[in-house]
Chain A
Amino acid sequence: MMSRLDALKILYKYTENIPVISSCGNTSREWASLGRRDNHLYMVDTMGLTPSVAIGVSLTLEKKGFKKCIGIEGDGGVLMNPNSLASASYLNPRKWMLIVFDNECFASTGGQCSLASRIDIAKVAEGFNLKTIQTDNAEDFEKAVQKSIEEDGPIVLHAKINQENQKNPFLNDDPAVLAYKFSSFLN
């Protein structure tokens, strides 16, 4: 099974001109370690909010050239805010893409078991009438990223990953600067 960093490296290759919002904790730290870009919005708190923010951004992209707005969230975050799946289903934002990295644990806080160890998040998303792709290895994940970016409609990419964490420095930037760079990129 791939690590989160393996998956992020693949995603990085295909998202140079696509807005990407990453969830707090190790996900944003590993994502930033690959090289910072202004099309990245790094969340430093508010676990679970990434899919919601990506919905809002994707609504504003209708007349812009970006193919998608991608939110990256963990299994713990999605189960903290399943409301975002309801909103995505209801609003049907065609440029919304959610990647759920599912390691069945809260990796950023030490690997404590999450509820996802007994819940199939892809089925949850499908229950909200969202198109879903499920992967458990790097090769399939890469294909799914390429396919999902071209998809005309909201899509959830549910990627099973292992519980490996990379050691990276904390993101201690002023959030206002993070938002300013991202917003300037979008507008």
Chain B
Amino acid sequence: MTTFQDLACEEIIKGIEETGADYLLTLPCSTIGKVIEHFENSDTITSFPISREEDGVGIASGISLGGQFPIMLIQDTGIGNSILAITTFAQAYHVPMLILVTRRGGFGEINSAVNLFSEPLPDILDAARVKTFKLDYRVPLKEWSTAIKQGAKYAKDTHRPIIVMFNIKGGAEQ
């Protein structure tokens, strides 16, 4: 049976392809494994793994300064070890990039610690003035690819990193 997660992954793949991005930098999440596998075999977007999100923000920034467009795909926990690079480099230096973030914590989360960062994360991003758009069950799945495409364009048009965060597990807002 096709699940919400399967359909969401298809929309995320479609959205990333429609951005026309040159590079996709990834750190895995079990929920979007299909997305990473898809782009490992892509002819149009160069995809590679990163070892830590802060390093990824630096590499993505260099790609962007070099005139190409990068997307990072990470878990929301990764914002914790990259927010300094996002704010004092990518944002301060007006470097556009799209950061796609999968949500941890909330209903369906079995990890007994991650909620302590994931739940307050939207407030942390708001306080740091990192513009974030949120997708969850209330946004029709067919709109997700459009949001990703628009997120990339908005990053370029406003010269800064933009985050599009999605809750792929379903469940209520956290």
Q: What separation, in Å, do the CA atoms of A46 and B70 have in the docked complex?
A: 20
Q: Which of A46, A55, A83, A187 sits near B88, CB closer than 8 Å?
A: A46
Report if A53-B94 is in contact (Cβ < 8 Å); known contacts: A84-B58, A87-B59.
Answer: no
Among B52, B84, B85, B159, which residue has its beta carbon within 8 angstroms of that of A176?
B159
Nearest residue (CB) in B for A24 is B88
Are the CB atoms of B66 and A186 closer together than 8 Å? Answer: yes
Contact, CB under 8 Å: B93 / A178 = yes
Stretch at the interface among A5-13, A29-37, A58-66, A145-153: A58-66
Closest to A64 in B: B66
Interface residues of B (CB under 8 A from A): 23, 48-52, 54-68, 70, 84-85, 88-89, 92-95, 159
A41–B92 Cα distance when bound, in Å, is: 13
- Which of A53, A83, A180 touches B61 (beta carbons < 8 Å)? A53
Identify 9 new A-B residue pairs, CB closer than 8 A, beyond the known A55-B59, A183-B67: A46-B88, A52-B59, A55-B58, A56-B65, A56-B66, A59-B59, A60-B68, A81-B54, A176-B94
Q: Within the assembled complex, what's the spacing in Å between the Cα atoms of A52 and B57?
A: 8
On whether the beta carbons of A60 and B88 are closer than 8 Å, the reply is no
- Give complex CA distance A55, B58 in Å: 8
Min CB gap A62→B, angstroms? 10
> Within 8 Å CB of A84, what residues of B?
55, 58
B51 x A60 contact (CB < 8 A):
no
Instruction: Output the least CB separation between A63 and chain B (Å).
Output: 11
Q: Is the CB of A57 within 8 A of B65?
A: yes
CB distance B58 to A60 under 8 Å? no
In the assembly, what is the distance between CA of A91 and CA of B89, in Å? 22
Question: Complex formed: what's the CA distance from A39 to B133 in Å?
Answer: 35
Closest to A91 in B: B48
A182 is an interface residue with CB less than 8 A from chain B: yes
A41-B61 Cα distance, complex, nearest whole Å: 12
- Find out whether the CB atom of B65 lies under 8 angstroms from the CB atom of A183: yes
User: A43 in the interface, Cβ–Cβ < 8 Å?
Assistant: yes
Number of interface residues of A (CB under 8 A): 35
Q: Given contacts A56-B70, A81-B55, are A176 and B92 in contact (CB under 8 A)?
A: yes
Instruction: Please report the number of residue pairs spanning A and B whose Cβ atoms sit closer than 8 angstroms.
Output: 108
Task: Assess whether A45 is in contact with B88, with CB atoms less than 8 Å apart.
Answer: yes
A61 CA / B93 CA spacing, docked (Å): 20
- Taking CB atoms, residues of chain B closer than 8 Å to A90 are 48-49
Residues in chain A near residue B67, CB distance under 8 A = 60, 183, 186-187
B92 near A56 with CB under 8 A, answer no
Question: A58 — nearest CB in chain B belongs to which residue?
Answer: B62
Question: Which B residues touch A61, using CB under 8 A?
Answer: 66
User: Quick check: A54 and B94 within 8 Å, CB to CB?
Assistant: no
Pick the contact of A56 from B51, B59, B93 — CB < 8 Å?
B59
Tell me the complex Cα distance, A130–B162, Å.
33
Q: Please, which residue of chain B has its CB at the minimum distance from the CB of A45?
A: B88
Q: Does B63 lie within 8 Å of A56, measured CB to CB?
A: yes
Contacts of A45 in B (CB 8 A): 84, 88-89, 92
- Chain B nearest CB from A156 CB (Å) reads 16
Instruction: List 10 tightest A-B contacts by C-beta distance, closest first.
Output: A56-B62, A52-B58, A60-B66, A179-B93, A83-B55, A57-B62, A45-B88, A56-B59, A176-B94, A56-B63
